[in-house]
Structure 1
């Protein structure tokens, strides 16, 4: 029997602090449990990858050991960005599932696992069920262990990425000047290989994989982590710069002026491109997305849908509805028109390049073309694990009593004459998150004041 730490089995994945809440025994138990689940579901083969964190090799080895103990055949792809793991699961015909060892964008002493089965995210109740099975020691013991195959997926992945640029004007593509910052994360080897194949001028920053992240933390949603990229773009007069998180499923972009193109603006640009070729297509965005995203999709003739925050929720909803595009304000983008529907920051960067070259546009035009709104960044503040969901429920009850216009699919998103505001509980941390958007700075100030008042009534403060 094996008991996982209570805080490790998260809503979207399995995640903890290595050496404290997450150890090699957890990886081994996960292998045995997931392998048993897969075997009982009719599967017999799984692909496994790992990011560049210092703890990832040990966790990956223990995971593989647990899998083969259940008779599962394992395809090991070694050091890989998470999208490479998803790509391998989608394209290697012999496998039915995949597990990536990764701490994603979290601090360097964190690590975890992302799981996929049959091209769909494995999360929520499925992860909780693994915990129940492990606690009961509910594992199969086959007569013979499974086998392990080593495979290099990088060439096939990069080749498929390059196909997206076939037919794009070669002269325009050759004039592109840009920078890539992988933050010493797992995207480094991919970007080095891509840059060697791409026409144009390419500046590479921090592509050496180093789990200590010596230059800056790999999370492009934090402005401070984009300083090196911004400086390179400005000092060399480049057209744009792109950055990735530690496992490369998130994308960050700055334009030639050094302005950050937030995920809302990028999703609007991607929607224009995708819906021009897939008229009437469905686009899924998370509950934190700007109203301008949904308004633009409708104006372009598409179907816009709001989904709970979290990459697993977006992927699941896209798969259920046949959506052609999805996006999350944390920088996850999901293409299901010419791609596989999983979140892939590197592929999103290639789609951005292709769209700019096709339109003869500059990245700055994406910033300028977005509707003029003012909004807060995601406001994240610590709240005790046992209080975060009750606080949201208390706010929801007060709003219901006041007849406010509330969307409650994930926390509370409230529409008002000033715009909208959101309060939700984080599924990955002991924290609440808030966001607000208005047409004016004055309206935004009033919305934030409402959030603070609601928090005060529940005994919580953002500061």
Structure 2
């Protein structure tokens, strides 16, 4: 059960969120500093108002394993029911289970997951869905307006506790339909939940899978005692890499704190990044559904775009951000998408949202159908030289304004670039990207080249353009 929250400590007639909470993709803050139960209550009242004005009556709510999540969930539920909507509580669960509740449970008009995702353990926040559509950008700003004005609906909703774990596992196991279990039976697979919310579902899931399974840190613990649950950071994959080196597993999967980001370590101990996972999934999809439309975020390797095109598919470059990609998939009709952060989205035989457990099963299926191990599929990819995500603060400078300045200079000089999300500049050496972070007041950059010398030239070129507006990385 969630921790009880005294009504007198959270109820209010109106509320102003700390501006840092109202982010592009979702709401996130620091527990006890910019985020507390009053914020959760006010969010519940404001979201209930949006739901009711859209003709809805019911919202699903879940929460991750962070220490602050039960108190936030209790206050959120209080706000929702006092705003006049019914609440279906799914309890401690990863974000994909919350999305599944909205997509499949029937008569559910929206959902909120209390989660800090991959952020530091003293952070927390909320991911939202309304009417099967991602809720972000201006929608989040509108919640702030509704709360500040106290423009809240009033009512008395009902609360129902529901358990969807078994139904969810049954559903995602359809990813392996048509796959001979004998192809998976010899495999030794590692699963690292990082003490995040996906752990209990992983335990339930692997009990139904063929093969041998080694579980790491599936007990939910908001202290994250072994490593932080963010599979985009190489050091957090150290246990899987060591297990591969010691011959304990053939490869491994890793998950973030709320189970919507996937990391993979192959049989040679290499990390497969989000764009490489997307490329494997795309090859499988193209073999079964020629001509499919795929989306890859602007940070992705050029080999994704080139390979999908060569296989007869269509590929769109998308702005970074899970909400932006989900929205773009619905608008474009794309059936598969991915981004460097390990969010992978499926709309061919699934619901169009990011689900790391389902993605792991789809990778198992892709490997079986393509007849090659994940290691062999990675071996077949061209080697490139690429930077990680380079993030740097520029004190006193608006990152979006800085990117706009650079973009204007590039256009004036007649440079070839894509402005989908910042500026992705193509040169004979490869490409570099400059964009403003939507989650922090920082600039981010990335570059990729076939050669190490080319990568050095790309970074020098990026630095030269930044220097023209007085910024030094």
Q: Does TM, normalized by the shorter one, top 0.5?
A: yes
The question of whether the paired residues in 2 share the 8 Å contact of 1:104 and 1:245 is answered with yes
CA distance in 1, matches of 2:342, 2:395: 26
Query: 1:381-396 counterparts in 2 under 5 A?
Result: 381-384=392-395, 387-396=398-407
Aligned: 1:86 with 2:99: yes
Question: Any unmatched runs of 5+ in structure 1?
Answer: none
CA displacement, residues 300-322 of structure 1 (integer Å, 9 cap, x when unaligned)? 11110011110111110101111
Cα distance in structure 2, aligned partners of 1:190 and 1:421: 39
Distance 1:325 1:359 in 2: 17
Partner of 1:403: 414
Q: Which residue of 1 aligns with 2:70?
A: 57
* 1:140 aligned partner: 153
The 3-state SS of whatever aligns with 1:35 is helix
- Structure 2 equivalent of residue 422 of structure 1: 433
Partner of 1:300: 311
Partner residue in 1 for 2:4:
none
Residue 259 of structure 1 pairs with residue 270 of structure 2? yes
Q: How does 1:89-238 map to 2 (within 5 A)?
A: 89-142=102-155, 145-238=156-249
Structure 2 CA distance for aligned equivalents of residues 229 and 437 of structure 1? 26
Provide closer, same or farther for how the CA distance between residues 58 and 178 of structure 1 changes in structure 2, counting only shifts above 3 A.
Answer: same
> What displacement does 1:386 show?
5.1
What SS does the aligned partner of 1:268 have? helix
- In structure 2, the residue matched to 1:271 is 282
Partners of 1:366 and 1:101 lie apart in 2 by: 36
CA distance in 2, matches of 1:311, 1:232: 31
Deviation at 1:64, TM superposition (A): 0.4
- What's the counterpart of residue 59 of structure 2? 46
* TM-score, structure 2 as length reference: 0.95
What is the distance in 2 between the residues matched to 1:315 and 1:413? 21
Residue 30 of structure 1 is matched in structure 2 by 43
Structure 2 counterpart of 1:315, from 311, 315, 326: 326
Structure-2 residue corresponding to 1:326: 337
Deviation at 1:431, TM superposition (A): 1.3
Q: How many correspondences in the alignment?
A: 460
- Look up the SS of the partner of 1:77 in the other structure: strand
**TM-score normalized by the length of structure 1:** 0.97
Tell whether the 8 Å contact from 1:268 to 1:370 is kept in structure 2 after alignment.
no
Is this contact kept in 1: 2:275–2:296, CA < 8 A? no
Q: Can you list the C-alpha shifts for 1:149-199, whole angstroms capped at 9, x where unaligned? A: 000111111111222223211212111111010100011001111111111
Contact 2:117 2:258 in 1 (8 A): yes
Q: Deviations over 1:187-227 (max 9, x none)?
A: 10011111111111100001110011110011111101110
Q: Deviations over 1:347-405 (max 9, x none)?
A: 00000111222333211112112223221111112234852112111211221221111
CA RMSD of aligned residues (A): 1.2
Does the C-alpha gap of structure 1 residues 397 and 223 become closer, same or farther in structure 2, counting only changes over 3 Å? same
Measured in 1, the distance between the counterparts of 2:396 and 2:99 equals 31
Equivalent position of 2:11 in the other structure:
none
Looking at structure 2, the residues matched to 208 and 430 of structure 1 have their Cα atoms a distance apart, in angstroms, of 34
- CA drift at 1:457: 3.1
1:3 aligns with 2:16: yes
What is the distance in 2 between the residues matched to 1:111 and 1:4? 14
Aligned equivalents of 1:9 and 1:132: distance in 2? Answer: 11
Correspondence for 1:443: 454
- SS of structure 1 residue aligned to 2:176: coil
Are 1:337 and 2:348 counterparts?
A: yes
Q: Does 1:453 align with 2:464?
A: yes
Q: How far apart in 2 are the matches of 1:316 and 1:365?
A: 33
Residues 83 and 152 of structure 2 are in contact (CA less than 8 Å); yes or no, is this contact kept in structure 1? yes
TM-superposed CA distance for 1:32, in Å, is 0.2
User: Pick from 362, 365, 368: which aligns with 2:373?
Assistant: 362
Hey, what's the Cα distance between the residues in 2 that align with 1:112 and 1:217? 17
Equivalent-residue separation in structure 2 for 1:112 and 1:383 (angstroms): 25
TM-superposed CA distance for 1:290, in Å, is: 1.0
Deviation digits for residues 408-463 of structure 1, max 9, x if unmatched?
1211111111111000010011211100011111111000111222233333333x
Question: SS of the residue aligned with 1:236?
Answer: coil
